[in-house]
């Protein structure tokens, strides 16, 4: 009896040791990943408050701490002025372009997904496959073609040509609708068709069924597509840099690049301050709606 008791104690002790060891390893890995993710944020916050304005002498805790970089960013420092550069205009341009793109994207994507999910017409499957195939190729391959198309389009309709926010929005819409249509269609397929049939029995048209019965049920996926689309457009640099040439029409990401473009006159502290302020709207939006993002992505993953 005593031997069995000792064996049981040894087994219990071994299991306890393995459990503690496993938890310790997981904790170490978690701390490493947290440090890996947080370190760049801490570094850029430190750079924004470092008055030395140099990456060569940058320390995690700035020696010359202050708010001069923020004063220079807003042209409040008389010794460092950047002429006509207007940070707030760039920020507003980013919010305007991203907001309009998101609204139009949601409107067109929702109606297209409804047609592919609920209606049956010739070429439906072929068009869906073509949309998916086009999304396989990276946008980088189409930069030259996009530039030429917008340039030629601007000769016919100047309001949609180069150096216009409308032309940039049009390009963003073309690049983001493909995967969003598939994502929205997957969510619509989970909604029972009995809802549509009940509306038809009451004499409702397809648009009335879509607007009155289905659209309120699409709120989770609308939030997901809207937030992800806004973040992607807000943080884009390459397309905006190619299609916009006027400083006053720059988006935030393109405007901030001015502070790091000089050969011998790079203002890293000002760049860090502008990047930090520019990241606040996205961070606040994501943190406040992250639960809905996770719920919306998983809700349309499996068809019921």
pLDDT digits (tens, 9 = 90+) for 121-144: 888 888 888 888 887 777 778 888
Give the span between the Cα atoms of 304 and 301, in whole angstroms.
10
User: In the chain, pLDDT over 70 holds for what percent of residues?
Assistant: 84
Count other C-beta atoms under 10 Å from residue 174's C-beta. Answer: 14
Q: What is the pLDDT of residues 18-70, one digit of tens each?
A: 777 778 888 899 999 998 888 888 888 888 888 776 666 677 777 777 888 88
Tokens of 153: 């389009």
Above 90 in pLDDT, residue 265? no
66 versus 78: the higher-pLDDT residue is 66
φ/ψ of residue 68, rounded to 5: -65, -35
* pLDDT exceeds 80 at position 161: yes
| Angle (CA) 139 167 82, round 5° | 95
What are the structure tokens assigned to 5, written together? 């008791």
Pick the CATH number of 87-299 from 1.25.40.420, 3.40.50.920, 1.10.3720.10, 3.30.360.10: 1.10.3720.10
For tokens 């840099």, name the residue: 241
Q: Do 73 and 87 form a contact (C-beta atoms < 8 A)? A: yes
What's the chain's average pLDDT?
Answer: 81
Q: What is the pLDDT of residue 284?
A: 84
**Binning pLDDT at 50, 70 and 90, where does residue 11 land?**
low
With bands split at pLDDT 50, 70 and 90, how would you rate the model's confidence at 300? Answer: very low
Report pTM: 0.81
Q: Where are the domains of the chain?
A: 2-73, 87-299
Neighbours of 12 (CB within 10 A): 10
Query: Does the pLDDT at position 299 exceed 80?
Result: no
pLDDT (average), residues 74-87: 70
- The mean pLDDT of 221-229, rounded to a whole number, is 87
């Amino acid at each position: 009896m005593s031997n069995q008791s000792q064996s049981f104690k040894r087994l219990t002790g071994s299991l306890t040791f393995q459990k503690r060891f496993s938890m310790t390893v997981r904790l170490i890995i978690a701390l490493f990943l947290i440090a890996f993710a947080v370190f760049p944020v801490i570094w850029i916050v430190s750079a924004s408050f470092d008055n030395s304005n140099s990456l060569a002498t940058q320390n995690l805790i700035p020696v010359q701490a202050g708010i001069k970089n923020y004063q220079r960013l807003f042209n409040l420092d008389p010794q460092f002025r950047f002429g006509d550069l207007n940070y707030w205009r760039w920020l507003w341009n980013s919010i305007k372009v991203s907001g309009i793109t998101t609204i139009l994207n949601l409107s067109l994507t929702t109606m297209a997904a409804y047609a592919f999910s609920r209606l049956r017409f010739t070429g439906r499957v072929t068009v869906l496959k073509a949309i998916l195939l086009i999304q396989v190729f990276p946008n980088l391959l189409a930069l030259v073609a996009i530039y030429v198309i917008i340039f030629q389009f601007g000769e016919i309709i100047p309001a949609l040509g180069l150096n216009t926010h409308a032309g940039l929005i049009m390009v963003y819409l073309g690049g983001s609708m493909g995967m969003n249509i598939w994502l929205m269609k997957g969510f619509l397929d989970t909604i029972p068709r009995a809802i549509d049939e009940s509306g038809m029995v009451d004499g409702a048209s397809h648009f009335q069924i879509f607007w009155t019965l289905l659209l309120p049920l699409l709120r989770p996926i609308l939030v997901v597509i809207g937030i992800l689309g806004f973040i992607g457009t807000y943080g884009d640099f390459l397309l905006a840099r190619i299609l916009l040439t006027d400083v006053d029409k720059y988006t935030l990401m393109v405007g901030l690049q001015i502070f790091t473009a000089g050969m011998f006159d790079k203002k890293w502290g000002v760049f860090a301050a502008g990047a930090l302020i520019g990241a606040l709207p996205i961070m606040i939006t994501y943190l406040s709606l992250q639960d809905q993002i996770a719920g919306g992505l998983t809700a349309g993953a499996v068809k019921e």
